[in-house]
């Protein structure tokens, strides 16, 4: 039942009913691969929290794409996240205050929540020339990161730039762009790479932390396994075309129109870990991810692949699996080189025998016989 | 060299008598019996759907590289077992291949790997016992440190299983060893564990044979419970029975094997050779033992030759 009493809405935070809240908690839980009953647990943890967990969002060499992606999330919506679930105490793009007031808000939040706030970092940190290539409020990004992370409980590095360097680190890395985990070594760091990553990878991680007080299982690059545990190749809807050897070779050709595999157009799916084929982007229906709309994946989540490997260079296959073909009971063998070599051998032997006959080897033997 | 026909016949007769005198049932090497508690696999071609999870799993758990047979080198698609492929699934096709497990205008799958014979020809042929049959499990194992690379095992095996690493500088023989490294940890062979339909099940051979014979009594069209992974495990799947060829391949062929087959299509069509019950190892060893018993026959024969040569050589 839609609530049409607009005056009462202001009391009812964000206009979300309990049912919707429970629903999205369940969706969150399922999205992380947790049992559906966990949705209730998440809801309870989040609402019963004495205080909304404080979050400081620090932006360095970023394009704001990660924040933009988050703004477009619907479950939970961004306003629900920052008004009801977490206390976003500092965010350069979304702050109401700016300048000194914003910096003061950050300092105050750090002081009040020493050791308890989550530091979210997007953008890479330039370290060349003492880090002058990114400065906020007169301080280098490097210094701000170091001083803020000192008192953080944990750090979430959102986006490829913060996770492994991203765009600023490509093309020779003129600014010395560095990911967070190579600067801060003494705090737990979760990397959520992607350019931008699906906002739900970030949101699920945050809600998991709020509910259980610990981070979800991470792989050896510090990425949550529920989102980055599988290659795109393993979940791609065009995988049967790969296995059957049906490829598009040019943009717009017949096979491309038929939706065949984009491996030969340089798709990096076979060497990129992400969950794009599963959750896709934008909640606007099916096929809303690069491969789904006909463009090969370029590996935005993988350091060394995204922005480094040329777009149309073929990916290396990590898992080589059997295709959609079968060998026959008896396969033809021994054709080609083997047969022709045999023929050469026979001919050579015949020639040798002829030579021997002509050049008197046999004659010599005859002489010996007569000598007896 | 001149040999008088008379002398030659004399020696040959003497030799023959010697051999005949020594020959007899005592020399015939007995066929080996099945080891109690030996383990093996039961592969039912009618249950197999050709998914090749067993091929993938075998490569994964034996850490063997992919075998490429297309110029793209994009897929692991061996055309047959080779030095990097211990297990492969092959397809039988006839005509339109419409119906599964039917011989005419049908198709069927067959899994090929080492049969772990009861009386292995490869172990018999091996001059250095690099291939040995384990006394407890009956698995035919390979010892690379003993192997001299003579490849007699390749000649001896009626199933063409041992594969030689032609491409390597220090080659070994490669074949399925029933995942003995996994059995040690209490696990089962990877092909059995990963088979989703229960086409390949693992267990003690007595139980596998009993299960196979039970399946031959099922009525086609009935719904029966088929075990998955282990023949004596708790995982079962219900499926409809399909007409079988009324024979368990491997029960007696070549003296018996520990990997048993059931199929809906004649076994020779699936590439499984029609072997007689007497194992070739028994036959060849009988001949060997007969000829060389006590080294009498060789000594007589060679002695005879020396005598003839000596007689016909004039001092010059």
Domain boundary among A326, A341, A360: A326
Task: Please judge whether A326 and B270 are an interchain contact, meaning their C-beta atoms are less than 8 angstroms apart.
Answer: no
Mark whether B20 and B149 lie in a shared domain: no
- Residue B74 and residue B151 in one domain: yes
- The owner of tokens 């701000």 is A144
Q: Which of B109, B108, B56 has its CA nearest to residue B86?
A: B56
Number of domains observed in the structure of chain B:
2
Q: Based on the fold, state whether residues A133 and A238 are members of the same structural domain.
A: no
Share of chain A above pLDDT 90, in %: 58
Do A181 and A316 lie in one domain? The reply is: no
Does residue A237 share a domain with residue A315? Answer: yes
Q: Are residues B265 and B285 in the same domain?
A: no
Judgement on whether residues A247 and A180 belong to the same structural domain of the protein: no
Distance of CA B303 to the CA centre of its chain: 40
Q: Which of B56, B66, B92 lies nearest to residue A329, judging by beta carbons?
A: B92
Please state the domain count of chain A. Answer: 2
Interface test with A, best of B1, B67, B75, B81 (most A CBs within 10 A): B75
Sheet of B88-93: strand order equals B88-93, B106-112, B99-100
State whether B270 and B288 are in the same domain.
Answer: no
For A:273-312, CB contacts with B below 8 A are none
Give a yes or no: residue A309 inside a domain: yes
Is the pLDDT at B51 greater than 80? The verdict is yes
Q: Which of A115-124, A336-345, B276-285, B300-309 has the lowest mean pLDDT?
A: A336-345
Residues of chain B positioned with their CB less than 8 A from the CB of A321: 56, 75-76
| Predicted pLDDT of residue A341 | 62
Per residue in A220-245, pLDDT tens? 999 999 999 999 999 999 999 998 88
Phi-psi sector, A304: left (phi>0), alpha (psi -120 to 50), beta: left
| pLDDT bracket for residue A332 (50, 70, 90) | confident
Nearest by CB to residue B75, choosing from A322, A330, A331, is: A322
B223 and B293 both lie in a single domain: no
Scanning every residue of chain A, which has its alpha carbon at the shortest distance from the alpha carbon of B56?
A: A321
User: Would you say residue B150 has pLDDT above 60?
Assistant: yes
**Whether the Cβ atoms of residue B94 and residue B104 lie closer than 8 Å to each other:** yes
> For residues B160 and A5, what is the distance between their CA atoms, to the nearest angstrom?
82
B26 plus B133 within the same structural domain: no
Residue range B93-103: average pLDDT? 93
Confidence category of residue A22, pLDDT binned at 50, 70, 90: confident
Residue A321 in domain: yes
A297 part of a folded domain: yes
- A224: helix, coil or strand? strand
Residues B94 and B222 occupy one common structural domain = yes
| In a shared domain, residues A246 and A303 | yes
Tell me the residue range of the domain where A177 lies. 52-227
Chain B residues whose beta carbon lies within 8 Å of the beta carbon of residue A327 = 77-80, 88, 90-91
Please check the confidence at residue A53 and state whether its pLDDT lies above 60.
Answer: yes
Distances (CA, A) of A127 to A133, A146, A243, B75, B274: 8, 12, 45, 43, 74
**Nearest by CB: B75 against A320, A328, A330:** A320
> Does the pLDDT of residue A32 top 70, yes or no?
yes
Residues 247-266 of A with CB under 8 A from B: 263
Is residue A32 assigned to a domain? no
Please give the angle made by the CA atoms of B47, B48 and B53, to the nearest 5 degrees.
140
The percent of residues above 70 in pLDDT, for chain B, comes to 93
pTM, entire model: 0.73
Whether A243 and chain B come into contact, CB under 8 Å, resolves to: yes
In a domain, A201, yes or no: yes
**B102, B264 Cβ separation under 8 angstroms:** yes
Q: Do A328 and B110 touch (CB under 8 A)?
A: no
Residues A272 and A203 in one domain: no
Mean pLDDT over A351-369 rounds to 67
Cα A211 from Cα A290, distance rounded (Å): 33
CA torsion angle for A353, A359, A364, A367 (degrees, to 10)? Answer: 120
Residues A280, A236 share a domain:
yes
Identify the pLDDT of residue B4. Answer: 76
CATH number of the domain enclosing A258:
4.10.480.10
| A263/A188 same-domain check | no
> Quick check: B90 and A327 CB within 8 A?
yes
- Give per-residue pLDDT as tens, B172-191: 999 999 999 999 999 999 99
**HSE on the CB side for B239, CA within 13 Å?**
18
- Which residue range is the domain that position B254 belongs to? 39-277
At CA B272, angle to CA B268 and CA B277, rounded to 5? 95
Tell me whether residue A170 is in a domain: yes
Residue among A242, A263, A322 minimizing CB distance to B55: A322
Q: Are residues B84 and B143 in the same domain?
A: yes
Of A287, A310, A326, which residue constitutes the final position of a domain?
A: A326
Question: What's the CA gap between A111 and A108, in Å, rounded?
Answer: 5
Residue A322 distance to chain B (closest CA, Å): 5
Please check the confidence at residue A372 and state whether its pLDDT lies above 90.
no
Does A120 map to a domain?
Answer: yes
In terms of Cα–Cα distance, which of B77, B81, B82, B102 is closest to B92? B102
Q: A182 CA to chain B: closest CA distance, Å?
A: 33
Same domain, A177 and A65: yes
Q: Is residue B26 domain-shared with residue B161, that is, in the same domain? A: no
- Res. A15 pLDDT band, cuts 50 70 90: low
Q: Pick the more confident residue, A83 or B28.
A: A83
Same domain, B9 and B129: no
| Domain end point (choices A307, A326, A345) | A326
CATH for A71:
3.40.50.700
Classify each residue of B241-275 as buried b or exposed e, where b means 16 or more C-beta atoms within 10 Å of its C-beta.
bbebbebbbbbebbbbbbbbbbbbbebebbbbeeb
Residue A317 contacts B where some CB pair is shorter than 8 Å: yes
Place of tokens 């091996």: B126
- Note whether A245 contacts B: Cβ–Cβ < 8 A: yes
pLDDT of A262 over the 80 cut: yes
Q: Do residues B169 and B22 share a domain?
A: no
Instruction: Looking at the structure, tell me whether residues B68 and B210 fall in a common domain.
Output: yes
- What are the residues of chain B with a beta carbon less than 8 Å away from any beta carbon of chain A? 50, 52, 55-56, 66, 70, 72, 74-80, 88-93, 109-110, 269-271
Q: In this complex, do B80 and A331 lie within 8 Å of one another by their Cβ atoms?
A: yes
- CATH number of the domain encompassing residue B217: 3.30.70.20
Domain assignment present for residue A210? The answer is yes
| Same domain? A172 vs A312 | no
Residues of chain A contacting residue B55, judged by C-beta atoms under 8 Å apart:
322
Window from A272-286, B127-141, B199-213 with minimum mean pLDDT: A272-286
- Residue corresponding to tokens 């009935």: B222
Q: Chain A: give the shortest CA distance to residue B219, in Å.
A: 28
């Amino acid at each position: 039942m839609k609530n049409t009493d607009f005056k009462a809405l202001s009391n009812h935070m964000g206009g979300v009913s309990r049912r919707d809240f429970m629903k999205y908690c369940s969706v969150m839980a399922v999205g992380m691969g947790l049992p559906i009953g966990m949705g209730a647990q998440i809801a309870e943890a989040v609402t019963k929290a004495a205080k909304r967990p404080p979050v400081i969002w620090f932006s360095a060499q970023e394009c704001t794409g990660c924040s933009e992606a988050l703004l477009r999330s619907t479950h939970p919506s961004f306003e629900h996240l920052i008004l009801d679930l977490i206390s976003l105490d500092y965010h350069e793009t979304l702050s109401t205050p700016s300048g000194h007031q914003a910096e003061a808000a950050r300092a105050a939040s750090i002081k009040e929540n020493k050791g308890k706030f989550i530091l979210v970092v997007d953008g890479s940190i330039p370290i060349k020339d003492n880090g002058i290539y990114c400065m906020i409020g007169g301080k280098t990004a490097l210094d701000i990161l170091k001083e803020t992370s000192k008192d953080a409980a944990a750090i979430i590095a959102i986006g490829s730039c913060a996770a492994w360097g991203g765009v600023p680190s490509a093309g020779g890395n003129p600014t010395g762009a560095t990911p967070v985990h190579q600067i801060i070594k003494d705090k737990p760091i979760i990397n959520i790479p992607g350019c931008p990553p699906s906002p739900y990878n970030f949101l699920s991680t945050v809600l998991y932390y709020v509910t259980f007080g610990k981070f979800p299982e991470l792989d050896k690059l510090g990425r949550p396994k529920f989102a980055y545990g599988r290659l795109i190749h393993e979940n791609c809807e065009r995988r049967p075309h790969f296995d059957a050897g049906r490829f598009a070779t040019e943009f717009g050709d017949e096979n491309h129109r038929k939706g065949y595999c984009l491996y030969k157009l340089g798709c990096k799916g076979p060497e990129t870990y992400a969950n794009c084929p599963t959750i896709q982007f934008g909640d606007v229906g099916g096929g809303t991810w690069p491969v789904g709309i006909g463009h090969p994946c370029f590996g935005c989540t993988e350091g060394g692949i995204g922005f480094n490997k040329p777009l149309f260079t073929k990916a290396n296959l990590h898992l080589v699996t059997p295709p959609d073909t079968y060998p026959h009971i008896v396969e033809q063998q021994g054709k080609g080189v083997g047969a022709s070599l045999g023929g050469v051998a026979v001919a050579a032997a015949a020639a040798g025998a002829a030579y021997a006959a002509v050049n008197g080897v046999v004659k010599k033997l005859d002489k010996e016989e007569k000598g007896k | 060299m001149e040999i008088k026909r008379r002398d030659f016949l004399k020696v040959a007769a003497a030799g023959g008598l010697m051999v005949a005198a020594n020959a007899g049932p005592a020399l015939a090497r007995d066929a080996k019996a099945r080891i109690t508690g030996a383990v093996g696999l039961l592969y039912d071609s009618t249950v197999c759907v050709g998914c090749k999870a067993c091929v993938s799993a075998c490569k994964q758990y034996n850490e063997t590289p992919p075998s490429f047979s297309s110029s793209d080198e994009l897929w692991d698609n061996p055309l047959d077992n080779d030095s990097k492929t211990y297990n492969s699934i092959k397809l039988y096709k006839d005509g339109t291949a419409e119906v599964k497990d039917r011989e005419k205008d049908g198709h069927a799958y067959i899994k090929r790997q080492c049969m772990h014979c009861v009386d292995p020809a490869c172990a018999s042929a091996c001059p250095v016992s690099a291939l040995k049959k384990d006394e407890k499990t009956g698995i035919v194992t390979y010892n690379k440190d003993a192997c001299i690379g003579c490849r007699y095992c390749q000649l001896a095996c009626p199933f063409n299983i041992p594969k030689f690493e032609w491409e390597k500088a220090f080659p070994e023989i490669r074949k399925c060893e029933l995942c003995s490294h996994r059995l040690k940890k209490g696990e089962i062979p990877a092909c059995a564990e990963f088979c989703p339909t229960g086409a390949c099940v693992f267990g003690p051979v007595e139980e596998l044979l009993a299960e196979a014979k039970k399946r031959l009594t099922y009525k086609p069209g009935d719904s029966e419970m088929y075990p998955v992974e282990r023949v004596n495990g708790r995982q079962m799947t219900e499926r409809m029975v399909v007409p079988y060829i009324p024979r368990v391949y491997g029960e007696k062929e070549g003296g018996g094997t520990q990997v048993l087959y059931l199929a809906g299509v004649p076994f020779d069509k699936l590439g499984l050779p029609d072997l007689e019950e007497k194992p070739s190892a028994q036959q060849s060893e009988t001949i060997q033992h007969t000829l060389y018993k006590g080294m009498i026959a060789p000594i007589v024969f060679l002695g005879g030759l020396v005598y003839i040569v000596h007689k016909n050589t004039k001092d010059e």
